Amino acid sequence: MAKENKDNEQDIASRISPKKMILPVFIGLGVVAYLLYDNFDIKAFDVVKFTWNTLFWLFIAILLMVFRDIGYVIRIKILTDNEFTWLQAIRVILLWEFTSAITPSAVGGTGLAVIFMNKEGISIGRSTAVVMATSLLDELYFIIMFPLFLLFINSVNLFSVSGLESYSHEFQIMAVTGYSIKLIYTVFISYGLFKNPRVIKKLLFNVFSIKVLKKWRYSATKAGNEIMDSSKELKKKPFSFWLKAFGATIFSWTSRYWVVNAMFVAFFVVNEHALLYARQLVMWIMMLVSPTPGGSGFTEFVFAEYLGDFLPQVGGIAVLMATLWRLITYYPYLIIGAIIVPGWVKKKFGKKTK
């Protein structure tokens, strides 16, 4: 058992090493450099002008990212019944965002979030249940919002991009596929958490019965038992508990999406804010299939192509805006993570794991 714990800790420490940020930065900047080389027009500098209005709206964009994290912090305090202090909740969220930034979008930082919460004082089983609850709330936001946008916004406007009209059908397929995956995942999590947690326990046992994972089967079984206990607690929560947690979720995701709106207004006139917001939602669903860490490269490309309709048609403008967007919403978490991860790992895992 001691050897298992030591192996687990060494594996976790290596997976959240700040060195992991090199690859996504390299991929992201590489794609940006290629797109600028391929499309850049010197006239872009004539279109992009910095004024006091620019600084004001860029400040709003940064503030919205802060609001987004505040929403996450509030939610995790609600879901843990305020067992975390504000400092612990902030630390878990920042570590969570860092691991999401250095792992493929399809994977995210959810798995390691369980470990972060556990190391901050909550059992593995309960941490797993809380992380599953956050995933459920996040997916529920997409499941509700996507059909609403389809109802109120013409699908032609939503999926048809200037210069890429022939790919409109492909965009729809990607969005519907991503939405279907989220819907199936949400149904499974809901059933496992609130109806039959034994299914999740059985799934964990079967997964960790695989030969290469057998050494962790005991811990997985223990986590499965704790999930069943946590499920009983979650089922007893009043409607107001879930309403507050979902309210924090809406606050977080809405703040995240309005960052682009504020950023575009800083430089240009935007007439269709709802459509811009809706396209970001679709873009996020598309990012579900990105194989690169933090969606690096893929995200910049999709942003430049899919949101380029809202920008002046000058070569390089969309790429510059995509780069600025990533500077506001992505790279800060790499920097923050590189600062706090070494100290946190040393404190929680000990010097031997460094």
- Residue 4 has a pLDDT of 45
The 3 state secondary structure assigned to the chain is CHHHHHHHHHHHHHHCCHHHHHHHHHHHHHHHHHHHHHHCCCCHHHHCCCCHHHHHHHHHHHHHHHHHHHHHHHHHHHHCCCCCCHHHHHHHHHHHHHHHHHCECCCCCHHHHHHHHHHCCCCHHHHHHHHHHHHHHHHHHHHHHHHHHHHHCCHHHHHCCCCCHHHHHHHHHHHHHHHHHHHHHHHHHHHHHHHCHHHHHHHHHHHCCCHHHHHHHHHHHHHHHHHHHHHHHHHHCCHHHHHHHHHHHHHHHHHHHHHHHHHHHCCCCCCCHHHHHHHHHHHHHHHHHCCCECCCCHHHHHHHHHCHHHCCCCCCHHHHHHHHHHHHHCHHHHHHHHHHHHHHHHHHHCHHHC
Q: What's the pTM value of the predicted model, to 2 decimals?
A: 0.80
Please check whether residue 31 is in contact with residue 296, taking contact to mean a CB–CB distance below 8 angstroms: yes
* Residue pLDDT, tens place only, 181-229: 888 888 887 887 788 877 777 777 777 777 666 666 676 677 677 677 7
Q: Measured between alpha carbons, how far is 283 from 179 in angstroms, rounded to an integer?
A: 11
At 172, the amino acid letter reads Q
- Residue 213 has a pLDDT of 62
Each domain of the chain, given as residue ranges in start order, spans 2-22+50-295+325-353
Q: Measured between alpha carbons, how far is 273 from 229 in angstroms, rounded to an integer?
A: 45
- Residue 353 has a pLDDT of 37
Q: Measured between alpha carbons, how far is 16 from 20 in angstroms, rounded to an integer?
A: 7
Please check whether residue 142 is in contact with residue 128, taking contact to mean a CB–CB distance below 8 angstroms: no
- Residue 269 has a pLDDT of 82
Q: Which residue has the tokens 């996020």?
A: 284
* Residue pLDDT, tens place only, 38-91: 555 556 566 677 788 889 999 999 999 999 999 999 999 999 989 999 999 999
Q: Measured between alpha carbons, how far is 220 from 254 in angstroms, rounded to an integer?
A: 35
End-to-end CA distance of the chain: 20
Which ranges of the chain have pLDDT less than 70?
A: 1-47, 104-111, 161-168, 211-217, 219-220, 223, 226, 287-298, 300, 313-316, 350-354
Q: Shortest CA distance to 168 belongs to which of 154, 153, 157?
A: 157
- Residue 3 has a pLDDT of 44
- Residue 19 has a pLDDT of 59
